[in-house]
Amino acid sequence: MTNETDLPEAAVRRLEASSFSSGLTVPDFAACLELGLRPVGLVQGFCVMQWGWYGAGSSFMRGMNPYTPSGQQAGGYSQTYRCPHGFVSAEHRMWGQNLEQPWVEAAWESGYGTAYRRMVEEAQAVGAHGVIDLKDRISHVSESSTTEFHFLGTAVVVEDGAPPAGGVPWTTFLAGQRLTKSIEAGFMPIAIVASLASVRVWAYCMTEYLMDGGRGGGPTGPTGAREVDQVTEAHMVVRQLAREHVRRQLGGDAIHGARIDVVQRELSQGDEVLDCTLRGNRVRRFKDYDEMPAPRPTVRLT
Amino acid sequence: MTDPGVDAGPHAVLRAEMRKGAELLSVAAPPGKAGGTTSDLTVDEALLLHAAGWAPIDLVCGVTIVSVPFGVWTWGQSGEIGVASDAHGMAVRGAVDRLRAECRRVDGHGVVGVTVEATVRPHHIEVSLVGTAVRPVSKHPAPSAPFASDLSARDFTLLVGAGWIPVDLAFGASFVYAPWRSARAAMAQKMQNIELTNYTQAMYAARELAMERMQQSALAAGGTGVVEVKVSEGPMSFARHAVGFTAWGTAVTLVAASHQYLKPQVILPLDDAVVTFDATSLRGR
């Protein structure tokens, strides 16, 4: 797979076969046919990424110095926290920083996007108009620093329907009844959207003390319950960044069924990495809402 | 693959809509404006909300981390662990305030379907809330204090239809030390089947305290009651002698002149329950 547009030979043979394959359940398959969608093949895309060394001495070690914030990529989020105590000792954390990690985001986007494009390429090879019932999986493979991005979906053709512009199939996580309802409601799937935001928290003295329960008292003495501003801010920002990244992909469309997941890796007291992923179905309205009757409550006698 | 003759049937409309959707995508879309609606609602929920006159606007979040000082979990005392209860309350209130602030930024009237995640660690408590900001389709001016609710879109629709409106998340927490007995008392009771009244009283009081706090927070928010109360309890994984109780729900108030009786329609499904077959159960697992 040196070239993103190359398909493995086995994939070409499989896609050229006269039979079709699909990952749909039987009910979803039936709903798909009722909607006028003809399954043409099971399509997939992979990409295995290695995560490089971002630690001390690497070219990615930016933002470490509070006096040169320009080391951070332009436009990226960065916030510095300064010790309120003055010099205490050489070990005292005089400053801290919350730092967006665009290089991590770019690497994730590259892996996710490449796997997605390869799946779309397979779908194009079978002349599909769309890909439904998409499943994405991100998992570690043999080595701890490698991650595999995997997409699997069922390519479909809209019977008597127009092919998509540029021959690029639309995609959706939905299938079966849920896809049918979406179409009935006037929402046409455009593509799945996903993004990752990554923020590194370098704790300053107050964060370190508070996240360690104020052990030893710290320079300010023991404290009661107190909000940890730096970590709270990082949690809020990482979620905001993920939503901003997704909004940039929407172009005025809507996203339905969004799912937000945050993975938190604690490195030491207060020092942590927050990775937030957001994914969902980008949809575009092709007709106005049909007048719907007010929902009627029912009681089942079962 | 499909019989063209079927298109003359009831599915013709559905298929025509699918083709209409495909036609939309057959021409390159003009560059759209930045942004767009984001929501974690399903299509069902979005439709239900719309039928009730509401629309989703944006996905909103609120998170707060509050420190718990070293030593508060140490056994040797009895009664409530006040600092931990305060920390939990502070974390929840901070997260709700941030959630509402995000809702106000997008001109939302409130947040529905809030997912609550609360994690208690030895030295900090983390509360994370995620939900979808909504507003009436008729676009009334947004209120200064949007509501927050962990009710699903379905329950929200039902509640609004009955003349009620959520006002805020109601919550209460109480952390207590498991009461301890002297070695002499423990030895004396070793062979007896008796009630440990100090345990009973401590747990009873702690549960009541959590629920009372929840009720107080509902009243403070202007609610007249709390629905969908969820109670959780259990020892802390890092300190088995400390037990936490939390109570959550949505504070509601009546906005109609009186409660609207929904008159639910009674239905009797005529289909048999789906029989599931689980091969692993044959081996008794």
A38 and B4 Cβ atoms separated by less than 8 Å: no
Percent of chain A with pLDDT over 90: 45
Instruction: Over range B14-34, report the average pLDDT.
Output: 81
Pairing mode of beta strands A298-300, B265-267: parallel
Q: What are phi and psi of B212, to 5 degrees?
A: -65, -40
B174 and B84 Cβ atoms separated by less than 8 Å: no
Q: Does A263 or A19 have the greater pLDDT score?
A: A263
Nearest Cβ partner for A253 among B32, B41, B65? B32
Per-residue pLDDT tens over the stretch A186-206: 899 999 999 999 999 999 988
Helix (H), strand (E), coil (C) string for B59-84: EEEEEEEEECCCCCCCCCCCEECHHH
CA A45 to chain centre: 16
- Domain presence at residue B27: no
A276 and A196 Cβ atoms separated by less than 8 Å: yes
A253 contacts: CB under 8 Å, gap ≥ 6: A190, A282, A283, A284, B32, B36
A158 contacts: CB under 8 Å, gap ≥ 6: A36, A37, A38, A129, A130, B18, B19, B22
- Domain presence at residue B2: no
Per-residue pLDDT tens over the stretch B165-207: 999 999 999 999 887 778 888 888 888 888 888 788 888 888 9
B176 and B202 Cβ atoms separated by less than 8 Å: yes
- Domain presence at residue B14: no
Q: Which residues of A touch B17 (CB under 8 A)?
A: 183-184, 186, 287
Query: pTM score, two decimals?
Result: 0.85
Q: Does B111 or B272 have the greater pLDDT score?
A: B111
Q: Which residues of A touch B35 (CB under 8 A)?
A: 247, 250, 252
Per-residue pLDDT tens over the stretch A141-168: 776 678 899 999 999 999 999 999 989 9
- Domain presence at residue B212: yes
Q: What is the CATH number of the domain that holds B236?
A: 3.30.110.70
- Domain presence at residue B22: no
- Domain presence at residue B278: no
Which candidate, A193, A189, A195, A186, places its Cα nearest to that of A175?
A189
pLDDT at A55: 59
pLDDT at B205: 85
Residue A245 CA to residue A250 CA, distance in Å, equals 9
**In 3-state terms, what secondary structure has residue B108?**
coil
A55 contacts: CB under 8 Å, gap ≥ 6: A61
ipTM over 0.90: no
Per-residue pLDDT tens over the stretch A106-147: 999 999 999 999 999 999 989 999 999 999 999 887 766 788
Answer whether B31 touches A (CB < 8 Å). yes
Domain total for chain B? 1
Mutate to test the interface with B, among A173, A233, A239 (most CBs of B within 10 A): A239
Q: Compute CA distances B237 → A289, B151, B202, B234, whole Å.
A: 50, 29, 19, 9
Per-residue pLDDT tens over the stretch A236-271: 999 999 999 999 888 889 899 999 999 998 888 788
pLDDT at B105: 93
Residue A232 CA to residue A219 CA, distance in Å, equals 22
Q: Which residues of B touch A298 (CB under 8 A)?
A: 264-267
CB neighbour class for B223 (10 Å; exposed up to 12, middle 13-18, buried from 19): buried
Structure token digits, residue A35? 């909607």
Q: Which residues of B touch A295 (CB under 8 A)?
A: 48, 51-52, 157, 161
Q: Model confidence at B93, in pLDDT bands (50, 70, 90)?
A: very high
Under an 8 A CB cutoff, do B265 and A287 touch?
A: no
Q: Which residues of A touch B18 (CB under 8 A)?
A: 35-37, 158, 161, 183
The DSSP line for B125-188 is: EEEEEEEEEEEETT-PPPPSS-EE----HHHHHHHHHTTEEEEEEEEEEEEEEPP---HHHHHH
Which candidate, A152, A195, A129, places its Cα nearest to that of A46?
A152
Under an 8 A CB cutoff, do B14 and A158 touch?
A: no
Query: For the structural domain made of A1-54+108-184, what CATH number should be given?
Result: 3.30.110.70
Per-residue pLDDT tens over the stretch B225-234: 999 999 998 8
Whether the pLDDT of residue B263 is over 80: the answer is: yes
Whether the pLDDT of residue B66 is over 70: the answer is: yes
- Range in A283-292, B124-133, B255-264 the model is least confident about: A283-292
Between chain A and chain B, the number of residue pairs with CB atoms below 8 A apart is 246
Mutate to test the interface with A, among B13, B25, B236 (most CBs of A within 10 A): B25
- Domain presence at residue B23: no
